[in-house]
């Protein structure tokens, strides 16, 4: 079900109040936390409602869906984030429109991003997806392998690694805390050698309050803004 613009506005207001509350609780400035509104499966009109309320960053999971929405909404100053599973052969739809690709963790993906970005004369900002929980169903690289991966990517001229991303397991929010602490610690370690690695993309509808307290700089939130998603059955 698609929520009305008024319902979306109300949800965003409540969300910003919660973000401010939890940021201030740990002495952080809420302005240093970017809200990425996750719009996968939702129609372009929903993005426009959120845009009119002032949101500018939107996250999509599917390459063609991102391409199509970016085309429909081309006249709006939107910052697109690709946050989904990467299929290397579909990166050609993603690189031309995404300001950030958040979910990179394979060498072939980096190589393909580098190739496309070079061709279109762009420097592509990426985050490395880290599987901090070790759950097998989750994407991402193991915590211990991240540094080597970063080193392997140093030669790329058209890719800039700007941070780390993770998805915590869907459990009691409080129990996600140590996963977020792990990602924070990893970022601190990497930042000593790679000062561009700054962003910590963590926190979704279920666990964003905890992620804020643990240092998140990018929240990826869908359900709390737009309601439940309906996936097409085909």
**Coil/strand/helix, residue 124:** strand
The distance of closest approach from Cβ of residue 203 to ligand PLP in the complex, given in angstroms and rounded to an integer, is 9
* CA dist 211 → 9, 19, 106, 204, 208 (Å): 23, 10, 25, 8, 5
Two tokens, residue 120: 């279109």
The distance of closest approach from Cβ of residue 83 to ligand PLP in the complex, given in angstroms and rounded to an integer, is 4
CB atoms inside a 10 Å sphere around CB 155: 8
Could you say which residues in the range 110-169 bind ligand PLP, by CB under 6 A?
Answer: 167
Closer to ligand PLP at the Cβ: 12 or 83? Answer: 83
Q: Judged by CB under 6 A, which stretch of 5-13, 71-79, 191-199, 214-222 contacts ligand PLP?
A: 214-222
Using CB under 6 A, pick the residue from 83, 95, 117, 202 that binds ligand PLP: 83
223 is an interface residue for ligand PLP by CB under 6 A: yes
Q: Judged by CB under 6 A, which stretch of 104-112, 115-123, 144-152, 219-227 contacts ligand PLP?
A: 219-227
Q: Which residues have a Cβ under 8 Å from the Cβ of 130 and sit 6 or more positions away?
A: 105, 140, 141, 142, 143, 146, 164, 165, 166, 183, 186
- Which residue ranges make up the site for ligand PLP (CB under 6 A)? 38, 40, 61, 83, 167, 204-206, 220-223
């Amino acid at each position: 079900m698609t929520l009305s613009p008024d319902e979306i506005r109300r949800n965003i207001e409540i969300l910003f109040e919660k973000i401010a509350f939890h940021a201030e609780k740990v002495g952080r400035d809420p302005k240093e936390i970017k809200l990425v509104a996750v719009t996968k499966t939702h129609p372009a009109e929903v993005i426009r409602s959120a845009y009119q309320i002032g949101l500018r960053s939107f996250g999509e999971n599917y390459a063609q869906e991102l391409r199509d929405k970016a085309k429909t909404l081309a006249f709006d100053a939107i910052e697109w984030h690709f946050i989904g599973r990467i299929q290397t052969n579909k990166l050609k739809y993603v690189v031309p429109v995404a300001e950030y690709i958040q979910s990179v963790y394979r060498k072939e993906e980096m190589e393909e991003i580098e190739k496309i970005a070079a061709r279109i004369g762009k420097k592509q900002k990426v985050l490395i997806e880290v599987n901090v929980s070790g759950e097998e169903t989750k994407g991402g690289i193991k915590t211990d392998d991240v540094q080597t991966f970063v080193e392997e990517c140093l030669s790329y001229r058209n890719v800039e690694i700007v941070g780390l991303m993770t998805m915590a397991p869907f459990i009691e929010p409080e129990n996600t805390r140590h996963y977020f602490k792990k990602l924070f610690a990893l970022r601190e370690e990497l930042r000593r050698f790679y000062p561009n690695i700054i962003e910590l993309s963590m926190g979704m509808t279920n666990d964003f309050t905890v992620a804020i307290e643990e240092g998140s700089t990018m929240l990826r939130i869908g359900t709390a803004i737009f309601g439940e998603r309906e996936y097409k059955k085909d």
